[in-house]
Amino acid sequence: MSQNKMIKPLTFTLKEKLIQRIDLSALIPNQLEGKPLEKIAKIKIAVGNKKLTVEKLFDIGGEDTQKIIFKKAVDLFDSIGRNMNQGSIEVRGSVGDRAGQDMNGGELTIKGNAGDWVGTGMRDGRIEVQKNARKFLGGALPGQSHGLRGGTIHVFGDTGERTGDKMRRGMIVVEGNTADYTGSRMIAGTIMICGQAGSNTGFGMKRGTIILSDQPTSMPATFNECGSFELAFLKLIFNSLANSNQRLKNLKENSSWVTRYVGDLSIKGQGELLILQ
Amino acid sequence: MLIKLAGGKVYDPMHGVNGQIKDIFIRNGRIVDKPSKDETIHKTYDVKGRVVMAGGIDPHTHIGGGKVNIARMMLPEDHEQDLVSRTPLTRAGCGHAAPSTLTAGYRYVEMGYTAGFEPAMLQANARQAHMEMADTPIIDKGAYVMLGNDDMFMRMMAQGVEQEVMNDYVGWTISNFQAMAVKVVNPGGISAFKFNQRQLDLDEKHTHYQITPRDVLKTLSRSLVDLKVQHPLHVHGCNLGVPGNVETTLDTIRGMEGLPMHMTHIQFHSFATEGDKNFSSGAARIAEMVNSHKNISIDVGQIMFNQTVTASGDTMRQYAGHSHGSPNKWVVMDIECDNGCGVVPFKYTDKSFVNALQWAIGLETFLMVDDPWRVFLTTDHPNGAPFTSYPHLIRLLMDRSFRNDMLHTVNKEAADMTVLGSIEREYSLYEIAIMTRAAPAKSLGLTDRGQLGVGAAADIAVYKEIDNKEKMFEKPEYVFKDGELVAKNGKIVKVTQGTTHVIKPDYDKSIEKSLDEFYKKYHTVALDNIVVSDDEIIDEGRGSITQHHCSREDTNA
């Protein structure tokens, strides 16, 4: 093990300014495992409508394929960490769309902003977005029946519309605000929003739980207020989040008294919005 | 331009050529006699030791029309996982179970097929179907128009109009929707579904029109005989997928009383109810019936263990089966009050008792029907499996030890219930050439396709002969379409545009008067606008029409 620690993470540093979008789904720990650097350098990556080798696009350093670092990342980096199921990827900079799509394990850390559809179809693992994310975080692609299916997505900043759209399982934590239609068409799972949620929060929710620190801008008329409760499970969630993440340690102080709204009655009506008091 | 294919082992069942070494000469897209010595041969392909067959013909493949499009729209995941990039020659596409039109055309050619027939074209969707087929490159195509559930037909049946009037309606439909044959799906059942009937047996009455599927089948089959249409009535029978439906299927065959009929995807109609799970194979009884009834031909609709999507006009049975769909989404809809459509994605797995037995039933049927001229190789693409699994299927039929190896990997209970392991038959290359080329061509009345005789169109596939038949049929060495080399070693080298095969039976045009009234009163589209003209298919030279004669001879029935 001590020897392993000496191995430097595999780093890809973008060489030149990109003009077109680039699909990085090939560079994930489970794909690169056991491959020599020369082979990795020859992997072809789609750039716009062309295919270029990794060595043309990136300076390659380090060798630990289970710990990948992208440097000078920009928001044209699509599908980063797609289908990964082990190891870790750290992105220094921003990423484009579909980061962590269909992820099944491992850890994806994005130090900048993320585009649309972060963690769509993800089953397991952890995604951390340290700035803001755009639309459909943990949401379903057009025509897909599920968004997030498991695992955790943690956003330090704000997210765009339809956060958690059609999500099925797992947890989304947003420290900032979310835009409109948060938790739309949600099937199950948990979303926690520490900031302010936009209008129509919970639209078309079947089941699932959205925990809000404030009243959202609006919610559909098909939600019913069910009174105030002290819910013991909230304490458990808060504690587990606070213990596992330094940034969320203040959650421990939250009270577990909430106002509970149940809906969306136009669908199955078993979802709940819990607004902390 | 004179082309010579020198020294190949030729399989041409239409002329009884079984593996003889022969040269084949091609001029202007046609196969010609050996030219005189002083003529220059412009290009010679050395095909010594190679197997030479006519291009494959798929008589039942859903490649165009409304429901394929619905399947495409419904399954973005199917497309996302199977992307095909553009090349300098071919265009981009996608899709495993429901490929895009372009990709379907390329893939057919890459495995040596040169024609495919869309078996379920609705009148209201005919234009869409033909446009999609026009977008399917290289291969020839054609369509079977659906009758037997449309309101006009049901009304005429209920009124008891004379056979001649019905013939006119059938003839009008074939001619005006540019069809090659007539298909009936769950006779009367799609219509009955809209009157809240959830099943309709062969002799069960439609609650509104008071007619039975048996009446529908006999009337339509009689019409096609009277109109001298070569391809017999293409029947998707009652009770698809219902355990015990083997009885219905046998009854249907008996009830035709000698009238010609093609029973399609018969695997789905061959379920008996023996055993603990009330589900068993009826293939032996079906095969026996088919063997003794020369008026019947079948195609199998073999299933393969894979993700696919079922797309059928049979709303009644698709509705009944929707709960088995995977992924869990489905569409069942009415089309212009005339017909139906149901799309349910399906994942067949070898661990499932039912799926494994279905797989075995299909193979049993193939192996127990004696006459390869009357059993065609299909998977009912995409309902049983995508057409790209044909090479695998051919290997299952040609290689007994491979088949038995596969049998050991499927659900044990199902494997114990099938006689597949004890069947020794192995198809020969000659028989494969019959069931994938000659027989469909003969059945459809394509006089110059599916064969390598002098005068025939030069649709030719050249295969390397290797023991692994799946590998052999996956990537032919050369594929010629109308005399032009279009694919080499499984890669497209030239993109051409195939023709659209149609028939135009004779009928009395005065039928249009009553049809016009009906369309004015009940339809959303006027009669003049719903029909598909020749010009639309020819599309200023982009497509073409090949009209075949209606001259069926065996009208003894």
Contact (CB, 8 A) for B361 and B418: yes
Q: pLDDT at position B394, please?
A: 97
Mutation target among B74, B75, B80 for the A interface, most CBs of A within 10 A = B80
With residue B518 as reference, give the H or E element that holds it.
helix B511-522
Three-class SS state of B520: helix
Q: Are A143 and B327 in contact (CB < 8 Å)?
A: no
Domains of chain A and CATH, by start: 67-276 (2.160.20.60)
Cβ atoms of residues B353 and B277 within 8 Å: yes
Partners of residue A144 in chain B, C-beta under 8 Å? 76-77
Q: Do A144 and B73 touch (CB under 8 A)?
A: no
- Cite the beta strand spans of B65-131 per DSSP E: 83-84, 93-94, 113-121
CA–CA min distance B244, chain A (Å): 34
B76 vs A141: CB contact, 8 Å cut-off?
A: yes
CA closest to B86 among chain A residues: A49
CA distance A144 to chain B (A): 7
Residues from chain A that touch B328, judged by Cβ atoms under 8 A, are 145
From chain B, the residues in CB contact with A143 under 8 A are 73-77
State the architecture of B56-453 in CATH terms.
Alpha-Beta Barrel (3.20)
Note the pLDDT tens digit of each residue in B160-184.
999 999 999 999 999 999 999 999 9
Q: Both tokens of residue B141?
A: 């195509």
Q: Which helix (H) or strand (E) holds B407?
A: helix B400-409
Residue from B75, B77, B328 whose CB has the most chain A CBs within 10 Å, to mutate: B77
Tell me the CA distances in angstroms from A87 to A27, A31, A38, A90, A108, one per residue in order: 12, 11, 21, 10, 9
Note the pLDDT of residue A4: 55
Contact assignment for B75 to A143 by CB distance below 8 Å = yes
- Give me the torsion for CA of B312, B318, B323, B324, rounded to 10°: -50
Residue with tokens 């269909």: A102
Name the minimum distance, in Å, from the CA of A51 to any CA of chain B.
11
Other CB atoms closer than 10 Å to residue B474's CB: what's the count?
19
Any long-range contacts for B104-109 (C-beta under 8 Å, 24+ apart)? B104/B63, B104/B136, B104/B387, B105/B136, B105/B137, B105/B138, B105/B139, B106/B137, B106/B138, B106/B492, B107/B387, B107/B388, B108/B56, B108/B58, B108/B138, B108/B139, B108/B387, B109/B138, B109/B139, B109/B479, B109/B481, B109/B486, B109/B487, B109/B492
Among the listed residues B31, B109, B48, the one whose alpha carbon sits nearest the alpha carbon of residue B464: B48
- The CA distance from B143 to the nearest CA of chain A, in Å, is 29
Looking at the complex, report in whole angstroms how far the Cα of residue A49 sits from the nearest Cα belonging to chain B: 9
What pLDDT does B273 receive?
A: 94
Residues of A in contact with B73 (CB under 8 A): 143
Torsion of CA A135, A138, A143, A149, to 10 degrees: 180
* Residue A96 reports pLDDT greater than 50: yes
Contact between B96 and B81 (Cβ < 8 Å) = yes
Q: Among A25, A83, A117, A145, which would you mutate to test the B interface (most chain B Cβ atoms within 10 Å of its Cβ)?
A: A145
Chain B residues within 8 angstroms (CB to CB) of chain A? 73-77, 327-329
* Per-chain mean pLDDT for chain B: 94
Nearest residue, CB atoms, A142 vs list B76, B327, B328 = B76
User: Which stretch of DSSP H or E encloses residue B253?
Assistant: helix B245-255
The pTM of this model reads 0.88
Is the predicted pLDDT of residue A36 greater than 60, yes or no?
yes
Extract the runs of DSSP E, i.e. beta strands, from B122-259: 140-146, 181-185, 233-236
User: How high is the pLDDT of residue A129?
Assistant: 97
ipTM above 0.85, yes or no: no
User: pLDDT tens digits for A124-179?
Assistant: 999 999 999 999 999 999 888 899 999 999 999 999 999 999 999 999 999 999 99
With an 8 Å Cβ cutoff, are B329 and A141 in contact?
no
Nearest to B327 among A141, A142, A145 (CB): A145
**How far lies A91's CA from each of A78, B188, B235, B386, in Å?**
12, 61, 59, 40
- Residues from chain A contacting residue B329 (CB–CB below 8 Å): 145
What pLDDT digit, counting tens, does each position of B128-149 carry?
Answer: 999 999 999 999 999 999 999 9
> Distance (Å) from the C-alpha of residue A123 to the closest C-alpha of chain B?
16
* Coil/strand/helix, residue A234: helix
* 3-state DSSP of B199-219: CCCCCCCCCCCCCCHHHHHHH
Q: Is the pLDDT of residue B408 over 50?
A: yes
**Do residues A261 and A272 touch, judged by C-beta distance below 8 A?**
yes
Which residue of A lies nearest to B79 if distances are taken between CA atoms? A143
Residues of chain A positioned with their CB less than 8 A from the CB of B74: 143
Q: Which residue of A has its CA nearest to B85?
A: A49
Comparing CA positions, the residue from A109, A111, A113, A160 lying closest to residue A138 is: A160
DSSP B484-516: EEEEETTEE-------EEEE-----TTHHHHHH
**Cβ–Cβ gap B77/A144 under 8 Å:** yes
- For residue B535, give the nearest of B526, B544, B527 by alpha carbon: B544
Range in B392-396, B461-465, B548-552 with the lowest mean pLDDT: B548-552
Short-list B305, B436, B423, B309, CA closest to B378: B436
In chain A, which residues touch B (CB < 8 A)? Answer: 141-145
Give the C-alpha separation, B53 to B8, whole Å: 10
Q: Which residues of B touch A48 (CB under 8 A)?
A: none
Contact list, A145 vs chain B (CB under 8 Å): 327-329
CB contact under 8 A, A145 and B329: yes
Q: How many CB pairs lie under 8 A apart between chains A and B?
A: 12
The pLDDT of residue A2 = 47
Question: Which range, of A4-8, A194-198, B193-197, B339-343, averages the lowest pLDDT?
Answer: A4-8
CA distance A143 to chain B (A): 6
**pLDDT tens, residue by residue, B220-265:** 999 999 999 999 999 999 999 999 999 999 999 999 988 999 999 9
Residue B554 predicted with pLDDT over 70: no
* Contact status, residue B130 vs residue B143, Cβ threshold 8 Å: yes
